[in-house]
Structure formats: structure tokens, C-alpha cells
Amino acid sequence: MIISKKHAFKSLFMGLIMTLLFTNVYAQDPIKIMLYGDSLMAGYGLSQTENLTSELTRSFKNNEPPIQFINASISGNTSKNGLSRVDWSLGDKPSIVILCLGANDMLRGLDPSLTRNNLEQIINKFVENKSVIVLAGMKSPESMGAKYQLEFDSIYPELSKKYSLIMMPFLLEGVALEKDMLLADYKHPNAKGIKVMASNLKPYILEAIKKLD
């Protein structure tokens, strides 16, 4: 069968149009991943190009469909602060949420039962939004006492099990207590520590993306 040049050109043109349309759909609808926490994820003491959001964005720059990381972390936030602003944060409609709050509760010696209750309410809000949650755990130092340490550290695995969440045991794995990974306050990650955190988070994020399919 002989196809005219005019018909062939028209088919090619239509094919290019369809390709552009599909490309634009993907460009307009990235996977939104929200970092919901405190200074550990907000990027305390770091430039905008060094924080966790920027490092994860670089790590996933070639992902298809594309990923948009949203920095919804605020330095100094306790779990109560996080709960008070969660409804507002839902306006971004995140598909995935990396939740890590409680470190400031622990530093202030707040009752672990209050932290647990606040985190549970936050989780329920995101579950109702149909977000996939990666719950990143924190750990209490021995200086807080054995009873407090046990009660606080158990919050994260217990909530993860109860709500079938993706559980990252410790956000600061390989960073905490490592002086070359921390700022001068020996509490917050430096740019090198952020790279380790991003690398540690990556497999959990990939697991969360699979749950979206």
C-alpha cells in the first residue's frame, strides 16, 4: 500500500503532538513527597542547597515519573506543634509523607504517652488523606533513664505496626554521635551527615513509591 507524503507528514505530526501531551501530563503531576518533622529534616544551620530536601531532590532527579520533595519541617517543633499544623499541610496533597517528630519532646522530657498520642493523631490525618507514610524513628539516650528510654523508643515501632507503616528504625543512623557528621552543637547533621541521611532514606522512599502503584 502506498502512503502519500502528505498523509505520512500528518501522522508524524499527530504522533509528536500526542508525545508532547503525555510528557506534559507527567511534568504536571509529579509524586509529592512531604518531609514532615523538625530541625533534623528542616536543615537547621545549613544553606537551602545543603538541606535534606535538596539532597533528596538531587538523588531522585532522574526518577520517572518525577518527584517533588516538599520541606514541611520546622525547627523546634514538638509532636504537639506538628499536630497543630497538619490540617494546613494537607493542602499540599502529599502522596508520600516522611514523618519524624518527637526528638524535641524527648529533649524536654515530655511524657512519652503524650508524644505517642500526638503522633497517632498526625498519622490518622495523613492516612485519611490516603498518603503512604514512612515513619522515621528517634531514640532516647541512656541519660534520660531506662524507663523513659524504653517508653519513648517503643513509640515508633508500635505505631508502625499498628498502622502498617513503612518503618525506618532511626533517622540519624550513622550520623548521631559522629562528630564529623554533625554541626558544632553535636546535635544537628552537617552537609555530610545530610548525605548519609538521604542515602539511608532512599530505600524506604522507593518502597513507598511502589505502594502507590
Supply the range of the domain harboring residue 76: 30-212
Tens of pLDDT, residues 131-169: 999 999 999 999 999 999 999 999 999 999 999 999 999
Q: Give the dihedral of Cα atoms 177, 178, 182, 188; nearest 10 deg.
A: -30
Q: What confidence score (pLDDT) does residue 25 get?
A: 45
Confirm whether 196 is domain-assigned.
yes
Give residues with Cβ within 8 angstroms of 142, minimum separation 6. 149
CATH number at residue 97: 3.40.50.1110
Confirm whether 16 is domain-assigned.
no
**Region 176-189 average pLDDT:** 97
Confirm whether 14 is domain-assigned.
no
- Cell 500526638, residue? 118
| Number of domains into which the chain is organized | 1
CA-nearest of 105, 75, 72, 74 to 89 is: 72
Q: What confidence score (pLDDT) does residue 26 get?
A: 43
Confirm whether 75 is domain-assigned.
yes
Compute the distance between CA of residue 117 and CA of residue 104 in angstroms, rounded to an integer: 15
pLDDT band at 29 (very low <50, low <70, confident <90, very high): confident
Confirm whether 13 is domain-assigned.
no
pTM for this predicted structure: 0.86
- Residue 53 pLDDT > 70: yes
Confirm whether 9 is domain-assigned.
no
Confirm whether 43 is domain-assigned.
yes
Tens of pLDDT, residues 198-213: 999 999 999 999 999 7
Confirm whether 129 is domain-assigned.
yes
